Amino acid sequence: MSKLKERLMKKEFVVTSEIGPPKGVNIDGPMEDAEIFKDSVTAVNVTDNQSAVMRIGSLAMCHLLKQKGIEPVYQVVTRDRNRIALQSDLLSAWVLGIENVLCLTGDHSSLGDHQECKTVYDLDSVQLVKTVTGLNEGHDLAGNELDGKPDFFHGAVVTPEYDPVELQIIKMKKKIDAGAQFFQTQAVYDVKAFENFMSKINDFNVPVMAGIVVLKSAGMAKYMNENVAGVFVPDDIIEEMAATPKQDRKKKAAEISARIVRELKPLCQGIHIMPLGWDDTVPDIIGQSDLA
C-alpha cells in the first residue's frame, strides 16, 4: 500500500507537492527539486506534458523518483493517447512500482507548443477514472481479463471556485461513482469559497487535498484571474504581492501560501503545493503552516 493511500485512509492530514519534467533529457533540475522537499511531503506528483507542452513523460520521471525512494503520483492526461496506450502505460506504471495515479483531461493542445498536433481525447477524465478502476478489478475497457491486476490508489481533480460550482460537484460525484479514491483541487485562494464548496460535499466521504499555487508576482495572479477557469486571487493578495520588492517576492509568496494553508487546514484532509519552479519554498511553506 502506498504511503499516500495509507495516510489518507487513516484520515491523517497529508501534504504533497509536484515537479514538472524538463523539455529535454537533462533531468538534474527536477530531480534536485524533488530532493529539496522529499522529506517534507508524503508524495510528489509528476505532471504529464503540462500546459500541452512536450516534455519527458511522467511515467519515466515517476520511475526515477521511485528509484530514489520518493513516492510518486503518476499524473495521466487523456489528451495525448487513446485508450489502448493509456491502459498500456498504466500497466507499465504498476510493474515499475508506481502505485498512485491522478486522472486528468489535460489542457487542449491549442494552448501548447505543438498547436498543429491532433488532440486525442479518446476518453474524458471520468472515463479514465473508470478505466483505472477496471484495471484494478482485473479487466480492460473492452472487458478482457488481465493476466495479473494492479491495485492503484487513483484520484482525480476538482475546481472548488468554478462558477457555477454545482457543475463541478456533479462531475466530482461522477468521478467518485467511477471509483475515484481521493481528490486534489485546482488552486484555492478564496478560503470562504472553498469552505462553501466543502459544505456542499460533506456526504461524499472522500479525501480532498486543497491545491496551492505559489504566486510569483501580482502579474501572475492577474493572469490566472483572467485566463484560468475556476481560479480567483482576491484583490488584497494581488495588492500584497504588488507592494513587495522583486527580491523579496519568494519570501512573500511562501508567507501568503502558508497563511492560506493555515486557514484551509480545518476544512480538508490535505494540501497539494504547486511551486512552479520555486521548489525551495515548499519546506518553508510547510514550516510556516505548522504542518511539519
Q: What is the pLDDT of residues 209-223, one digit of tens each?
A: 999 999 999 999 999
Output the pLDDT for position 102. Answer: 98
- CATH topology for 3-284 is TIM Barrel (3.20.20)
Output the pLDDT for position 228. Answer: 87
E strand or H helix at 104: strand 100-104
Tell me how far apart the alpha carbons of residues 214 and 233 are, in angstroms, rounded to a whole number: 11
Output the pLDDT for position 107. Answer: 85
Output the pLDDT for position 132. Answer: 98
Output the pLDDT for position 152. Answer: 98
The residues, any chain, with a CB within 8 Å of residue 253's CB and separated by 6 or more, are 214, 215, 216, 241, 278, 281
Output the pLDDT for position 229. Answer: 85
Tell me how far apart the alpha carbons of residues 234 and 254 are, in angstroms, rounded to a whole number: 17
Low-confidence residues of the chain: pLDDT under 70: 292
pTM: 0.96
As beta bridge partners, residue 209 has 184, 270
C-alpha cell read off for 20: 514538472
